[in-house]
Chain A
Amino acid sequence: MTSIRFIAPMALAIILASNGAFAASAEEGKTAYVKNGCWGCHGFVGQGGSAGPKLAPDPKPLDFMAAFIRHTNGTMPPYSEKILSVEDLASIHAYLRSIPKSADAKSIPLLN
C-alpha cells in the first residue's frame, strides 16, 4: 500500500470510491486462494491445467462459484463453510476478477 502515499488526494478519493474496497478484498482473496489450495489444481492465476479448469480471467459469477464449491461431487472436492468462509469465497472471487485478460494465442509468436 505504500504507493498510495504518492497519489494526489483527489485521485485517491476516486480510487477508494470506485475500486478501493474491491482492491483490498482481491488482495485478501489472493491469500485465501493460496491458503485453501485452489492454486494447486487451478494454478496461481486461475489459468487451469491438467488438474482443474481455467477460472480466470473472466470468472463465472459469484453465485455460480459459491453453489459449485459447496456442493460439487466430481473431481473437485467440495468446500464447506466450515473450511472456506463466505467472506473468503467472496474475496477469492474478487481476486479472480482482478486477474487481467491474457493475450490471445494468435498474438503470441511461440504459439503460432
Chain B
Amino acid sequence: MTVKKKDTETKAGRRNFLGGVIASGATAVMAPTLAGAAEPAASGPAKAKTMPPSAKTAASETAIPPDMGHSAGVPGSDFMVDVIKSVDIKYLPSNCASSFRAIHESLINYGGNTKPEFLTCMHEESAVAMAHGYFKIAGKPLITLCHGTVGLQHATMGVYNAWCDRVPLIILGGNDMDAAHRPPGVPTFHAAQDINAIVRDYTKWDDTPVSLQHFSQSFVRAYKIAMTPPYGPVAISLDAGLQQEPVKEHGEKLYIPRYVPTSPPQGDTGAVKEAARLLANATNPVIVVDRAARTPEGIPLLVQLAELLQAKVFDQGGRMNFPKTHYLSSGPAAIPGADVIIGMELSDFWGTVNAFTDNAENGGIGANSTKIKPGTKLISISSVDLNTKSNYQDFQRYQVIDVPMAADAQATLPALIEAVRSAIPNSAKDAIAKRGEAAKKSYAEVKLRARQEAAVGWDASPISTARVVMETYAQIKDLDWSLVAAESPGFNWPQRLWPMEKYHHWLGRSGGYGVGYGSPAAIGAALANRDLGRFSVSFQPDGDLMYAPGVLWTAAKHKIPLLSVMINNRGYHQEVMHVQRLSNFRNRKVNLGGDMGPVGTSIMNPDIEYHKLAESMGWWAKGPIKDPAQLASAIKEAVAVVKSGQPALLNVWTQPR
C-alpha cells in the first residue's frame, strides 16, 4: 500500500501506515514533500531495518492482538517522529527524562537518530540556549524535549532569552496527564495540569494535544507560528500516555499537514510613503537598527537605504545589521543631531532617544533626560508591535512615535527604499552628498579614537580586554570566522576594532540579559558553523560559564569545535559596580569581606580553574594566562586544536571591562 498525497496533507490510515512500513522499505512513508521548506525528510522515518514487521505487528494487522499492553502495535510516538521529520529539523539538544521516554525511544530507534539527532545535554537551559545560538547561524529552529515540570522549570530562563531575542525554537514538554493511570511517586510529582503555563508569558503559542492527529496539526502549526516574524519560541505539552499508546487500530486517518511558510508582514503603503517623505526631506536623518536584518539578506538592504540618504546608521547590535567597515556606520553619538530618526526592530525606542542616569536624584531612583531636539520626527518599523504580552516587561518604556508601523523591517525595506528613491527632491542631492563626506570624516576619527583607547593599558596584567580581543583577531583573521558570543556587559571591543561585515561575524546577545546564555549559545552556534565549515570563536565571561558548565561536556561529546577565550575578571562585575554605587549613594564604606568586589560579587578565594574544568570534560585548555606576552602563542595553539575539530578554552585573567 502506498500513501496517497493530497495537495495540503498526506493521509495515512493506520493500515496505510503499517502497510507503508512493510511494503516500501526505505522510502518515505509519512513525510510529505515540502514545497518551500528546506529539504524533505531524508530517507524517511520508516526504515524496514529499524522496525521489522514482527509477528505481533503483522498479526495486529488482521486480528485484535491478545495483549493490549502499551507496547503492542505501532507506538504513537513513532508517528510523532514522522511529524517532526516532516519539517527537517537537524538536531535535538535535550536532557533526558522519563516523561518523554517513549518519543525518545522512537527518535533514536525508529527515527534512526537523524533529523533530528539527539544531543546529550546536562541542563535544560543549556539545551534551549544551544537551540537559540544555532538558529542565529542556521536560520532554522531546533527542537528540544524536556521534562514538563522540573525540566521546563530549568529551561525557562533560556526560553525568556529566546523570546526577547525573537528566536524561534520548539519545546516539547513531557507530561503524564492521566492521574488515574500514571505511575505514582516521582512521575506524579513531575506531572501538572498545564505545564505550559510557566512559559506562556514568553512563548508565541502553546498547545496540549490530546490525540495523535491533534499533535500533528499542533506541531506544524507551532513550527509555522515560531517561524513567522516576529519569530519566537513555542511549546507543546506531550502527554506520556499519548506517546506510549499504540496508534489506534480502526478508523483513524492520520496525516501530516504540509508546512508552508507564512510571508512576513510588510508596512502599510501609506505609512511607508510618509516615512520616505520625512527621510528624503530631512537635514540629518539617522537610521537605528537592532534586529532589522533578520537574515543575511537584510544587510545589503540597509546599506542601500543608508547610501541613498547618506544617513548614519547606529547599529545597536541585536544582530549584525550593518557593516562596521562602512563609513556610515556610527554609534549613539549620531542621535542628538538628528531631525528624523527611523528605528527598525528596536527593543527599546525610549532608551534610544532618552537617557537614564542611575544616580541618587529623584529620591534615589535616577534621572531621565531627552537626547533629541524638540520636533525630531520618529519613525518605527517593528514586527514585535504585533506580539506584545502583558506580564514580562520586555516592551520597555512607552515612546510616542510619529510614524509607527507594525511590520517586519526587512520585509518592508525594499518598498521603503523605492519610496525614498522617488521622494528625494533633486534640490536635496548636493546636501545629501555633503552629508556623506562629513560622515566619512567622522568615521575615520571614531576608528582612530578606538585604536588609541585600545592602546592604553596594552601591557597591563591582568590583561586588557582590548588586547585579548586583538591578540585573538590576529590568529583568526584569515579564517572564515564567526564571533558566536561575547556576553560581558559593555564589552564592545570586537565591534569597535574588528572589521565585522558578514551576518555571521556577530550574532547579537542573549536578548533578555539572562546570564548563562553565553556558553551554551556559543556552542549551539558553533554547531551550525561546524556544518558550514566556519571557525567559531567566543569571548566567555567567568560568571556566565558557571551557570551550567556541563554544556562543555556536550560540546566535547558531539565534537563541536569552538575557540572559547575567557574574559575572566573574577567576579559578577556588573554587580561589583552596582553595590559600590549603592554604598556611595548611602554614604557607607563598602564591605569587601576580603575580596576585591563587595561581599557577594567576587568569584575568587578560591579562584576557579576554568581550564581544568574544561579539560575534565574533554576540552583542550590552558590557563590561567595573566601575562599578555603569553597570549599570542596560547591562542595560536588553541586555534590549531579547534581547526582539528575539537573545542578549546583559554582561561585568561583580564581587566574588569
Contacts A44-B655, A49-B657, A50-B490; A105 near B460 (Cβ below 8 A): no
Which chain A residues in 45-93 approach chain B with CB under 8 Å?
45-51, 54, 57, 73-75, 77-80, 82-83
Q: Report whether A43 and B490 are in contact in the complex, using a CB–CB cutoff of 8 Å.
A: no
Chain B 645-657, CB within 8 Å of chain A: the 1/0 string?
0000000000111
Q: How far is the CA of A104 from the CA of B350 in the complex (A)?
A: 39
Chain B 554-592, CB within 8 Å of chain A: the 1/0 string?
000000000000000000010011001101110111101
- Measured between beta carbons, the chain B residues less than 8 angstroms from A105 are 448, 451-452, 454-455
Which chain B residues in 454-479 approach chain A with CB under 8 Å?
454-460, 462, 464-465, 467, 470-471, 473-474
Q: Report whether B580 and A40 are in contact in the complex, using a CB–CB cutoff of 8 Å.
A: yes
Picked from A45, A57, A74, A83, the residue with its CB within 8 Å of the CB of B589 is A83
Chain B 334-359, CB within 8 Å of chain A: the 1/0 string?
00000000000000000000000111
Picked from A39, A41, A49, A104, the residue with its CB within 8 Å of the CB of B455 is A104
In the complex, whether A5 has a CB less than 8 A from a CB of chain B is no
Q: Report whether A39 and B456 are in contact in the complex, using a CB–CB cutoff of 8 Å.
A: no
Q: Report whether B453 and A54 are in contact in the complex, using a CB–CB cutoff of 8 Å.
A: yes
- Measured between beta carbons, the chain B residues less than 8 angstroms from A50 are 490-492, 657
Q: Report whether A43 and B458 are in contact in the complex, using a CB–CB cutoff of 8 Å.
A: no
**Quick one: which of A48, A108, A111 has the most chain B CB within 10 A?**
A111
Picked from A44, A47, A49, A73, the residue with its CB within 8 Å of the CB of B490 is A49
Picked from A36, A43, A83, the residue with its CB within 8 Å of the CB of B464 is A43
- Which residue from chain B places its CB closest to the CB of A43 in the assembled complex? B655
- Measured between beta carbons, the chain A residues less than 8 angstroms from B465 are 49
In the complex, whether B596 has a CB less than 8 A from a CB of chain A is yes
Q: How far is the CA of A44 from the CA of B462 in the complex (A)?
A: 8
Contacts A40-B576, A83-B589; A103 near B584 (Cβ below 8 A): no
What number of A residues sit within 8 Å (CB to CB) of B? 35
Q: Report whether B589 and A77 are in contact in the complex, using a CB–CB cutoff of 8 Å.
A: no
Q: How far is the CB of A106 from chain B (nearest CB, A)?
A: 8
Picked from A49, A79, A83, A108, the residue with its CB within 8 Å of the CB of B458 is A108
In the complex, whether B637 has a CB less than 8 A from a CB of chain A is no
Picked from A36, A74, A82, the residue with its CB within 8 Å of the CB of B357 is A74
Contacts A50-B491, A50-B657; A43 near B584 (Cβ below 8 A): no
Picked from B359, B462, B464, B492, the residue with its CB within 8 Å of the CB of A77 is B359
In the complex, whether B437 has a CB less than 8 A from a CB of chain A is no
**Quick one: which of A34, A49, A57 has the most chain B CB within 10 A?**
A49
Main secondary structure of the interface of A (DSSP, over half): loop
Q: How far is the CA of A40 from the CA of B357 in the complex (A)?
A: 18
Q: Report whether B656 and A54 are in contact in the complex, using a CB–CB cutoff of 8 Å.
A: no
Q: Report whether B471 and A82 are in contact in the complex, using a CB–CB cutoff of 8 Å.
A: no
Q: How large is the interface on B (under 10, 10 to 19, 20 to 34, 35 or more residues)?
A: 35 or more
- Measured between beta carbons, the chain B residues less than 8 angstroms from A21 are none
Q: Report whether B458 and A103 are in contact in the complex, using a CB–CB cutoff of 8 Å.
A: yes
In the complex, whether A20 has a CB less than 8 A from a CB of chain B is no
Q: How far is the CA of A96 from the CA of B503 in the complex (A)?
A: 41
Contacts A77-B359, A102-B459; A47 near B655 (Cβ below 8 A): yes
- Measured between beta carbons, the chain B residues less than 8 angstroms from A41 are 577, 656-657
Picked from A44, A54, A82, A110, the residue with its CB within 8 Å of the CB of B460 is A44
Q: How far is the CA of A54 from the CA of B455 in the complex (A)?
A: 11
- Measured between beta carbons, the chain A residues less than 8 angstroms from B358 are 75
Q: How far is the CA of A46 from the CA of B464 in the complex (A)?
A: 11
Q: Report whether B455 and A103 are in contact in the complex, using a CB–CB cutoff of 8 Å.
A: yes
Contacts A73-B359, A75-B359, A105-B452; A40 near B589 (Cβ below 8 A): no
Contacts A51-B577, A77-B584, A82-B587; A111 near B357 (Cβ below 8 A): no
- Measured between beta carbons, the chain B residues less than 8 angstroms from A74 are 357, 359
- Which residue from chain A places its CB closest to the CB of B589 in the assembled complex? A83
Q: Report whether B580 and A37 are in contact in the complex, using a CB–CB cutoff of 8 Å.
A: yes
- Which residue from chain A places its CB closest to the CB of B456 in the assembled complex? A47
- Which residue from chain B places its CB closest to the CB of A107 in the assembled complex? B455
Contacts A51-B490, A79-B584, A110-B474; A43 near B460 (Cβ below 8 A): yes
Top 6 A-B pairs, shortest CB-CB distance: A47-B457, A50-B490, A77-B584, A49-B657, A37-B580, A105-B455
Q: A34-B596, A51-B656, A103-B455 are in contact. List 16 more A-B contacts (CB 8 A).
A: A37-B580, A39-B656, A40-B580, A41-B657, A43-B656, A45-B655, A47-B456, A49-B465, A49-B490, A49-B655, A54-B453, A77-B359, A77-B581, A102-B458, A104-B455, A105-B452
